[in-house]
Structure 1
Amino acid sequence: MAPPLQAPEYKHVTEECLREWKSQSAAAFRVPDPVHMARFLYELCWAVVRGDLPPQKCRVALDSVVFVEESRRGEVGSVLADIIAHLGQDVTISGEYRNRLVKMTKSFVELSLIVPRLLQERCEEEFLWEVRVNTRLLYQQTKFNLLREESEGYAKLVTLLCQIGSELACQNSSSVTISIIKSLIGHFDLDPNRVFGIVLECFELYPDNTIFYQLIPLFPKSHAAQILGFKFQYYQRLDVNSTVPPGLFRITALLVKSGLIDLDSVYAHLLPNDDEAFEHYDSFVARRIDEASKIGK
């Protein structure tokens, strides 16, 4: 069990408030005096982290108060995101307290108290990764910014990948690049699948740079095979006269060799299919046998 936390002194989140918010009549309870928004939200988050209040009761708590800055109530999500970012960096919040912090973050998003974009912009990479592992917040977005729309985020992404692709990879550059990519996804609401496609395209240009082996595991393993499969299928279309680029075969082989994708998941997208391949083989063998039988006649 983690040692007790040194939480701030509660001015607004009193024992009476905690008791009322957890009671059956919580919806009817009202805090009598206006409270300062930032201080109240800070204490509320600490109450959840300490285990004094279940995170799902925070909506009831918010409904029970009037802020001194009531005209700024629409900024609650932004203030909560700042508080979570601060708590996420607190090294004393560990063990069960850390678990409660992650669960609280998930609950705030589910209750629509915070939009994921604010967390992605303000929280540290390590904490975002914890939240992503447990709630997939990092890649849950309701509307993605496609290439045909605002392109600034994608332009920054391509520039970044081309810069690091042409350089020698190192551990520091890998961690920095991962952090920047996550920030770009969050700040510009980029479609993670499209981002993954761009990562693979840059890997195709710079297959000797090992940094891509650290970037690709950020995305679901099955997505790599699907995106590569779509690329192969594109060149199989009758209206496409280009042949499959050698680089596409190369990165596919490299990803299979490194265990980042399964051969079977890519094999299904390749031509010819098994029946056509066997038919071609049988025809080839029959033709060669026929040619051999005519020798000397």
Structure 2
Amino acid sequence: MTTTVDRLVDSVRALPSIPRALQEVMDTLNNEEASVSDIVDPLSRDMALTFKVLRMANAAHFGLQKQVASIDDAIHLVGLNAVRTMVISSGLMGAFDEIAGFDMKRFWRLSLLSGLIGRDIAKQCGEHPEQAYTATLMHGLGVLALHRAFPEECQQIDRKCKDTTPQDRALCEIDGIGIHHGQVGAEIAKKWNLPETVAQAIKDYAFPQVQSSKMSLIAFVATAFAIDLEDKKSIEELGVGVAPHIFGSLGCAREDLLDMVERWVSYRNSTDLLVS
């Protein structure tokens, strides 16, 4: 009899390998003293990933006054941490193949938008913005792993799930498979040696509790706003599905976060270009 643990293991085993340069850059998330060379050296051995990072660096949401032509230029203009997040985003987007019947463009738009919003919320709440970006960017990776491990079950979930809230797909997955993508995503984060705070946030984000870590709450709220923006809801509708006690536990009022909506709309427009 297949157990939940067996299915979790099968899902993680179904993952594609990631570029070595990406793994080396992700390893630096555990190193507060990471240097420029820790980012530049791995990229110097992976020209395809370097090209994708430069494309992202030149996207509108970074607001650069000129186009950058090298990783060194990008680090000089936007900083080491920003470039590191671009490497992670670009590397992950290139590591997964298309899935029949699954809207990969929407998936990556939501992932990127959630990460950018999560970074902004973390700054507002005094949390680690780069870890928040990574956790929120990766919140849905378990969805892709589940599709690779259980394609037939996930096709049924795709037809059933509306994806209008952060919990929708997780509830459908529990009903159809017995595990949800947050649990799988947490194991992926551990496999890739990401910080425990990131793994825990991915695991808990879909079902936040008052006692959940702030990183989990950030991932939940950022994803909720990203879904609403993707679905082109009005400003008055953004985030209304998030329970007031979640904002209270986060320490940021919904109204305060809405002050950043104009910036988030620009992010949404930029993600269209990045996943086209």
Q: Shorter-chain TM-score: what band?
A: under 0.3
* Structure of larger gyration radius: 1
TM-score by length of 2: 0.28
TM-score by length of 1: 0.26
Q: Report which structure shows greater RCO (CA 8 Å, sep ≥6).
A: 2
